[in-house]
A and B are shown apart, each in its own frame.
Chain A
Amino acid sequence: DQQVKQNSPSLSVQEGRISILNCDYTNSMFDYFLWYKKYPAEGPTFLISISSIKDKNEDGRFTVFLNKSAKHLSLHIVPSQPGDSAVYFCAADTHANTGNQFYFGTGTSLTVIP
């Protein structure tokens, strides 16, 4: 059962515009969320995170928004650049974990068109 879902497999955006990647989750115990970015032939790299006590976290061009009532989070990239073209994974964690187990979505492939 996929507890973290990314329903858009792909997204194309013009350079300079905003990219919005969406993620939904089903487990109400999740209280920490992350976005990872993956280039071909490389492992995922950490991008940004947000705790459930916040509804927004910003880091440069990247902002993550969390809507707990809707169990939804989104990643905004402004302005989008060709180097942002990659697969983006949403992940979630719960304080109930004894370890550091992340639940990942299936990923959204972003293409930024020059």
Chain B
Amino acid sequence: DSGVTQTPKHLITATGQRVTLRCSPRSGDLSVYWYQQSLDQGLQFLIQYYNGEERAKGNILERFSAQQFPDLHSELNLSSLELGDSALYFCASSVGTGGRETQYFGPGTRLLVL
């Protein structure tokens, strides 16, 4: 158990809909990262938040947004969903914001868009 929790574990929705994925980092970790793993793809970095502020941005679509709240949990919002958004979404956390820190991953949320 990494100490990172993600809810829900599974999500099935329809095209055009909007969903919210939630992540609680390990106790004491200030950074939260979101990754997308599509079929036969590696983990694609989406975005990083550190202590409530956006720190780094990767290949995140404009239809996707994220935020980190004062209690350090984070939410990833996916809107106008398309079939291609079906994927595993992982959240990870680390203590700080750089310096080669180990990222601890949650179990993921599996999203299926029909």
Contact = CB atoms under 8 A, between A and B. Distances in A.
Interface of A: 2, 4, 6, 32, 36, 41-46, 49, 51, 89, 91, 93, 97-107
B108 interface: yes
Interface string B90-114: 1010100111111111111000000
A99 B104 CA distance: 15
A101 B94 CA distance: 11
B2 A45 contact: yes
Contacts of B2: 43, 45
B55 A99 contact: yes
B4 interface: yes
A36 B99 CA distance: 18
A93 B98 CA distance: 10
Nearest to A4: B42
Interface stretch (B13-21, B43-51, B64-72, B76-84): B43-51
A95 to B, nearest CB: 9
Nearest to B105: A43
B31 A100 contact: yes
Q: Which of A43, A45, A89 has the most CB of B within 10 A?
A: A43
Q: How large, as a class, is the contact surface on chain B?
A: 20 to 34
Nearest to B9: A41
A32 B100 contact: yes
Given A98-B55, A102-B103, 10 more contacts: A2-B42, A41-B107, A43-B105, A44-B90, A49-B102, A99-B48, A100-B56, A100-B99, A104-B43, A105-B42
A44 B76 CA distance: 19
A42 B103 CA distance: 14
A64 B69 CA distance: 38
A43 B33 CA distance: 13
Contacts of A103: 42, 45
Contacts of A104: 35, 42-45
A99 B55 CA distance: 6
